[in-house]
Structure 1
Amino acid sequence: MNDAPLIYVARCRLHRNGANLIQALHVAESFARIGVPTRLYLPPAKGVTVAARLRDFGIDEALDLRLDPWLHTRFGLWPFFVRKFGELRRARGIFTHNLMVSRWLAQFGLKHVLEIHDADRDLIQGGWMPYVIGYHRRRIIDWLVPVSRAAARVLIEAGAEPERVLVAPNAVDLKAYAALSKFDPTRLDHPTFVYLGTLAADRGLHIFDTLAQRGIGKAVLIGEVEPGSGFAMPAGVESHPFVPHHEVPGWYGRSDITLLPYPPHLATADSMSPMKLFEALAAGRPIIASDLPVLRELLEHEKTALLVDPEDVEAWIAAVRRLQSDRGLAVRLAQAAAERARGFSWENREEKIARVCGWL
């Protein structure tokens, strides 16, 4: 076995709070935990201490993280690959989720694995599909790792070789949720609903506002308002600024019903694998979610969640009322969610990828 590390090259900025960064950190950490030494390269970060930032995300400070100035957008990427070519060529493997990084790797003839987060917006609308399929068929992109079956179908229909397409949904740090209090159905008389993430007009947050306005429960919105999104904080909800990622499980522990109101027109709705879904499962609360095909890959109506029309506010209210009136159903959904989460640890995910790619 090659003793060199797996090299993961990304362009997420450590001083920002995006989902891609959180995912990249967990992926790199989990590869290392399962016995695949991993070196994660990111662009430089503004005004942050790396160790403190890793603690914010609940990541082991021993992570081999390198902030390389040549990954800054001002340098266009090619100097990074010129400087790191020897290291990349000797690596156990190369992994990325960034299409531009993948393109430069391909141009340098470096075989790699490409994780696909958004097949429709990035590959089809962004015009990247011919490049991805072309290099995949030439085995420069050795494996494609879409995060949903829907994304895999898009890739295969475009010409990807099915035997080198591995579906790997996102995951959750199960240990971070292990100490949460169990679901308490007696709290459903006036439940608390918590949302954590980007606050924008296209995230279905009006559902939380409506539930609060009608006195059905307490709504808590936590996060940063997306600039230019048209979102205004509703008067009837409790709001908090962004919290470090390691505090997220505690907030789920304060919730009684988890709402995932993804609208169908969301840019990523056709192929996403939202980390919020896996966090919701791990929290062990009854889930009400948008009835979207990509969510039905992981949730089953009345078995692991209640699935409702994402655009019908009254359907969301009716689902909450149903849980309030049928406490047995609420308990079963909460238990089923926690059980479903057990199959989605980051370590399990990366072990599956590493074995298929020959890194273990």
Structure 2
Amino acid sequence: MNGAPLIYVARCRLHRNGANLIQALHVAESFDRIGVPTRLYLPPAKGVTVTARLRDFGIDELLDLRLDPWLHTRFGLWPFFVRHLGELRRARGIFTHNLMLSRWLARFGLKHVLEIHDADRDLVQGGWMDHVVGCHRSRIIDWLVPVSRAAAKVLTESGADPERVLVAPNAVALKAYAALPKFDPTRLDHPTFVYLGTLAADRGLHVFDALARRGIGHAVLIGESEPGSHFVTPDSVESHPFVPHHEVPGWYGRSDITLLPYPPQLATADSMSPMKLFEALAAGRPIIASDLPVLRELLEHEKTALLVDPEDIEAWIAAIRRLQSDRQLAVRLAHAAAERAHDFSWEKREEKIARTCGWL
């Protein structure tokens, strides 16, 4: 096997807290762990110490992470490829989830694997589908790795070769959840619900507000408002600012029921693979989630979760009341969630990708 590393090129900024950054760090670390040495290139970061920042995300500090100023958009990105062309040509493989970087890789004739996070918004609405399908059919994009079956369907219906489309949902760092206290059904009389992430009106947070106002449980919202969203945290809930990602499991450990109230109007609702879902599974709490096709790819009603109409508050209340009145169901769902999580470790995910792409 080629002794050169896999090169992962991304445009996530290390000083920010986006899901794409968290995912990229875990992907690179997990490729390393399964025996595929990986070098992750990111743009420069403002005012951060790399080792401390990796620690915030619970990432191995030995990760070969390089912050390259030529990945800053002010330089147009192409100088990065000029400077690293030899390294990229010698690489075991090239991996990216960024469409602009994929375009530059194609222009330099560099075969690569492209991970697709959002088929509808990015490819269809964003006008990237012709580039992606054309490069895939010409094999400059060797493999497409959509994170959901729904995204894969959009790709193949648009002309991508289904024989080189690998569906790989996101995953979770299982070890971080191993020490959480077990689900305690006696706490369901007045359960705690915790949300961690971006605070915005399109995240279904009105569900937490409604449950708190109706006295059904204690709601905790943790995160920072999306720029320009003008989201105001309701008085009914307990709120906390953003916490480092390595603290997320502990907050799930304080919860009793996990709510995933994704609204169908969410821009990514048609093809997403939300990391919160896999964190919820690993936490081993009963899950109540929006009944959306993309979530039904991973959750089964009454077996691994209760699925409800995302826009019907009374349906969310009824689902909670059902768990309160049927503690055996709540225990079964909690156990099933924890068992299901074992299918979604980052290492299993990256091993599947690496073997498919010939990197192992």
Deviation at 1:245, TM superposition (A): 0.1
Give, as a single letter, the amino acid of the residue that structure 1 aligns with 2:204: G
- Match runs of 1:150-189 below 5 Å: 150-189=150-189
Cα distance between partner residues in 2 of 1:231 and 1:264: 19
Cross-structure match for 2:294 = 294
Give, as a single letter, the amino acid of the residue that structure 1 aligns with 2:124: I
Cα distance between partner residues in 2 of 1:25 and 1:308: 33
Cross-structure match for 2:22 = 22
Cross-structure match for 1:147 = 147
TM-score (ref. length: structure 2):
1.00
* Correspondence 1:197 to 2:165: no
SS at match of 1:193: strand
SS at match of 2:139: coil
Cα distance between partner residues in 2 of 1:228 and 1:8: 31
Cα distance between partner residues in 1 of 2:238 and 2:262: 20
Cross-structure match for 1:84 = 84
Deviation at 1:346, TM superposition (A): 0.1
Q: Which runs of 4+ in 1 moved over 2 A?
A: none
Deviation at 1:230, TM superposition (A): 3.1
Cα distance between partner residues in 1 of 2:212 and 2:309: 19
Give, as a single letter, the amino acid of the residue that structure 1 aligns with 2:276: K
Aligned length in residues: 360
Cα distance between partner residues in 1 of 2:127 and 2:239: 39
Cross-structure match for 2:326 = 326
Deviation at 1:231, TM superposition (A): 1.3
Cα distance between partner residues in 2 of 1:45 and 1:331: 44
Cross-structure match for 1:236 = 236
Cα distance between partner residues in 1 of 2:40 and 2:95: 9
Cross-structure match for 2:68 = 68
Listed one character per residue, the Cα deviations across residues 293-341 of structure 1 (whole Å, up to 9, x for unaligned) are 0000000000000000000011001111110111000000000000000
Cross-structure match for 2:246 = 246
Cα distance between partner residues in 1 of 2:246 and 2:357: 30
Deviation at 1:80, TM superposition (A): 0.3
SS at match of 1:66: strand
Cα distance between partner residues in 1 of 2:173 and 2:227: 29
Give, as a single letter, the amino acid of the residue that structure 1 aligns with 2:295: L
Deviation at 1:285, TM superposition (A): 0.1
Q: Which runs of 5+ in 1 are unaligned?
A: none
Cα distance between partner residues in 2 of 1:67 and 1:116: 23
Cα distance between partner residues in 1 of 2:290 and 2:231: 20
SS at match of 1:94: strand
SS at match of 2:343: coil
Cα distance between partner residues in 2 of 1:224 and 1:8: 28
Listed one character per residue, the Cα deviations across residues 273-296 of structure 1 (whole Å, up to 9, x for unaligned) are 000000000000000000000000
Listed one character per residue, the Cα deviations across residues 9-60 of structure 1 (whole Å, up to 9, x for unaligned) are 0000000000000000000000000000000000000000000000000000
Cross-structure match for 1:33 = 33
Give, as a single letter, the amino acid of the residue that structure 2 aligns with 1:263: P
Give, as a single letter, the amino acid of the residue that structure 2 aligns with 1:148: S
Cα distance between partner residues in 2 of 1:167 and 1:228: 33
SS at match of 1:343: helix
Cα distance between partner residues in 2 of 1:70 and 1:281: 39
Deviation at 1:228, TM superposition (A): 1.7
Give, as a single letter, the amino acid of the residue that structure 2 aligns with 1:240: H
Deviation at 1:227, TM superposition (A): 2.1
Cα distance between partner residues in 1 of 2:48 and 2:228: 26
* Correspondence 1:127 to 2:127: yes
Cα distance between partner residues in 1 of 2:230 and 2:53: 30
Give, as a single letter, the amino acid of the residue that structure 1 aligns with 2:139: R
SS at match of 1:342: helix
Stretch deviating more after TM superposition (228-237 or 18-27): 228-237
Cα distance between partner residues in 2 of 1:227 and 1:137: 38
- Match runs of 1:301-340 below 5 Å: 301-340=301-340
TM-score (ref. length: structure 1):
1.00
CA RMSD of aligned residues (A): 0.4
Cross-structure match for 2:274 = 274
Cα distance between partner residues in 2 of 1:144 and 1:2: 22
Give, as a single letter, the amino acid of the residue that structure 1 aligns with 2:212: A
Cα distance between partner residues in 2 of 1:56 and 1:160: 38
Percent sequence identity is 89
Cα distance between partner residues in 1 of 2:244 and 2:339: 26
SS at match of 2:95: strand
* Correspondence 1:356 to 2:351: no
Deviation at 1:192, TM superposition (A): 0.2
Deviation at 1:152, TM superposition (A): 0.2
Deviation at 1:229, TM superposition (A): 1.2
Cα distance between partner residues in 1 of 2:29 and 2:13: 17
